């Protein structure tokens, strides 16, 4: 551990959309001028925008072409990156503990480390919450990380090849994918898988035609899909999914997941070759009351409106791992635009903290919601575009706006010149790259 540091050190744990954006902003604002040492910690070496996980899972997104290298981003934006897994917190000594970094064969690359901080920011994100459902951990893929999305894709291609070789059976589907949870991730994955199946048919796997051999099932515990979003948006998405012959079960709770399929509380059983769990979130279990910090029942760190934790003024938290008040009787939702707005506010608040100035409170400005339905359509609602109410959009306009959200994220991390170059590279890459990855 370093000693006798002259500059204050701000340590950010978690390189997701919010954490990486915050490190980039602080690096440009403080690191460039030697006003503070900004350190980003993440267990991985690259960053992928989480709303694109459904495309990575379906194989329609080439992650290797668009991943952001943490080391390169740190070099370009005047912060430091250290690869490591957050393993503990010692508030009395103002230190965090990083677990040993291991290679794929188990060999130790770096020993466990202690890293001191003047200000600590926890931006660890969230993970899927299967609510302890029997078999969910063993037989369902939890779609909450790039590694899980890649695992699903590998198993999807294997299952498709296996299904293609099966003998014909009267009226039976060759392959079924069950998706538990019809929030944005589940709905977007269902549409993306339908598009992927059509591409596979064009590649010669004709027995996987979505109209005949490939079945996609959505299961949702609420009475409608996209329960957290406006009713009109959910209704439009439902219509589009029905056009794709995607089977939807609402008001159904999963009571067991097995190797053969999914059992519902109503008694229904859905045979399934591949099951994805995309329902519910929680913060990591190790955050629960970590070193005396206040947490809620899903392990989120409770923070003040300024994003400071309630029991330590030197520790901040934001994004999905934080429970942040949003008005007198509500909490900020776990959404990408919340993390983006919080990163922007927190960059300013940390500068204010260094200068002993009052911090500003967070207030979520909802600019609406967009849901991508693959190459078929998109639907969304734009808040604040009218003096009252919202503006509903769908089709090509909504698809363009959804694409724009990704560009906005790239702009925040790379600036407009690099974002233009990245976009040109994406378009050129599509000329020679298959629409669906087959490996």
Residues 105, 167: one domain? no
**pLDDT tens-digit map of 60-86:** 776 565 688 999 999 999 999 999 999
Is position 424 within any domain? no
Q: Are residues 248 and 140 in the same domain?
A: yes
pLDDT digits (tens, 9 = 90+) for 189-199: 998 888 888 87
Q: List helix spans (H) across 93-183.
A: 136-139, 146-164
Residues 68 and 148 in one domain: no
Give the separation between CA 286 and CA 299, rounded to whole angstroms.
Answer: 8
Token pair, residue 149, equals 């999305």
Residue 160 and residue 268 share a domain: yes
The answer to whether residue 87 is domain-embedded is yes
277 against 406, higher pLDDT: 277
387 domain-assigned: no
pLDDT of residue 380: 58
In this structure, are 121 and 151 located in the same domain?
A: no
**For residue 405, what pLDDT is reported?**
66
* Distance, CA of 190 to CA of 185 (rounded, Å): 9
Q: How many distinct structural domains can be found in the chain?
A: 2
Are 264 and 334 members of one domain? no
The whole domain housing 146 covers 136-279
End-to-end alpha carbon distance in the chain: 42
Confidence (pLDDT) at 41: 98
Question: Does residue 94 lie within any of the structural domains?
Answer: yes
Query: Does 184 share its domain with 140?
Result: yes
Q: Point out the domain boundary residue: 354, 377, 411.
A: 354
Return d(Cα 337, Cα 15) in angstroms, integer: 16
Comparison of pLDDT for 131 and 197, the residue scoring more? 131
The string of pLDDT tens digits covering residues 280-304 is: 899 999 999 999 999 999 999 999 9
> Which of 354, 388, 406 delimits the end of a domain?
354
* Confidence band for 389, pLDDT divided at 50, 70 and 90: very low
How far is Cα of residue 204 from the mean position of the Cα atoms in its chain?
A: 33
| DSSP-assigned states of every residue in 402-438 | HHHHHHHHHHHHHHHHHHHHHHHHHHHHHHHS-SS--
* 142 and 231 inside one domain: yes
141, 275 in Cβ contact below 8 A?
Answer: yes
Do 106 and 48 fall within a single domain? yes
On whether both 86 and 140 belong to a single domain, the answer is no
Predicted local confidence at residue 432, as pLDDT = 46
Q: And the tokens for 114?
A: 């202690």
Residue 418 lies in a domain: no
Range scoring the smallest mean pLDDT among 11-15, 123-127, 202-206, 381-385: 381-385
- Asked if residue 250 and residue 145 are part of one domain, the reply reads yes
| Domain containing residue 177: CATH number | 3.50.50.60
Beginning with the edge strand found earlier in the chain, give each strand of the sheet holding 95-98 in spatial order: 86-90, 95-98, 113-116
Q: Residues of the chain with pLDDT > 90: what percent?
A: 54
Decide if 367 is inside a domain. no
pTM of the entire predicted model: 0.84
Last residue of a domain, one of 311, 338, 354: 354
Q: Tens digits of per-residue pLDDT, 103-123?
A: 888 888 888 999 999 999 999
Q: pLDDT, tens digit, for every residue of 240-291?
A: 899 889 999 999 999 999 999 999 999 999 999 999 999 989 999 999 999 9
pLDDT at 1: 45
């Amino acid at each position: 551990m370093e000693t006798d540091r002259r500059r204050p050190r701000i340590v950010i744990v978690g390189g997701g959309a919010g954490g990486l954006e915050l490190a980039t902003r602080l690096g440009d604002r403080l690191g460039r001028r030697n006003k503070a040492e900004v350190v980003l910690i993440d267990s991985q070496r690259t960053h992928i925008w989480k709303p694109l996980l459904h495309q990575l899972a379906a194989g329609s997104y080439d992650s290797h072409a668009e991943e952001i290298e943490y080391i390169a981003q740190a070099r370009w934006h005047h912060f430091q990156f250290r690869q490591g897994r957050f393993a503990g917190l010692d508030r009395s000594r103002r230190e965090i503990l990083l677990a040993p970094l291991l290679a794929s064969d188990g060999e130790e690359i770096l020993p466990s480390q202690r890293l001191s901080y003047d200000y600590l920011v926890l931006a660890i994100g969230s993970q899927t919450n299967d609510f302890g459902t029997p078999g969910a951990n063993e037989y369902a893929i939890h779609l909450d990380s790039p590694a899980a999305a890649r695992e699903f894709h590998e198993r999807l291609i294997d299952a498709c090849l296996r299904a293609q070789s099966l003998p014909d059976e009267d009226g039976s589907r060759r392959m079924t994918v069950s998706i538990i949870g019809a929030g944005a991730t589940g709905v977007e994955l269902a549409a993306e898988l339908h598009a992927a199946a059509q591409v596979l048919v064009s590649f010669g796997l004709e027995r996987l035609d979505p109209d005949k051999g490939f079945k996609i099932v959505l299961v949702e515990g609420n009475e409608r899909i996209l329960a957290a979003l406006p009713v009109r948006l959910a209704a439009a998405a439902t219509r589009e999914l029905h056009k794709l012959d995607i089977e939807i079960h609402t008001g159904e709770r999963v009571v067991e997941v097995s190797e053969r399929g999914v059992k519902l509380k109503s008694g229904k059983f859905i045979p399934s070759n591949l099951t994805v769990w995309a329902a519910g979130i929680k913060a990591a279990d190790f955050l629960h009351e970590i070193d005396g910090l206040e947490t809620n029942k899903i392990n989120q760190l409770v923070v003040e409106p300024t994003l400071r934790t309630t029991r330590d003024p030197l520790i901040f938290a934001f994004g999905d791992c934080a429970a942040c008040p949003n008005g007198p009787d509500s909490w900020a939702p776990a959404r990408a635009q919340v993390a983006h707005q919080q990163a922007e506010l927190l960059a300013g608040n940390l500068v204010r903290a260094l200068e002993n100035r009052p911090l500003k409170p967070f207030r979520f400005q909802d600019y609406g919601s967009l849901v991508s339905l693959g190459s078929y359509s998109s639907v969304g609602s734009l808040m604040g575009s009218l003096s009252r109410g919202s503006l509903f959009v769908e089709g090509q306009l909504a698809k363009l706006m959804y694409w724009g959200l990704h560009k906005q994220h790239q702009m925040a991390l790379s600036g407009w010149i690099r974002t233009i170059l990245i976009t040109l590279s994406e378009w050129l890459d599509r000329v020679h790259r298959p629409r669906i990855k087959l490996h």
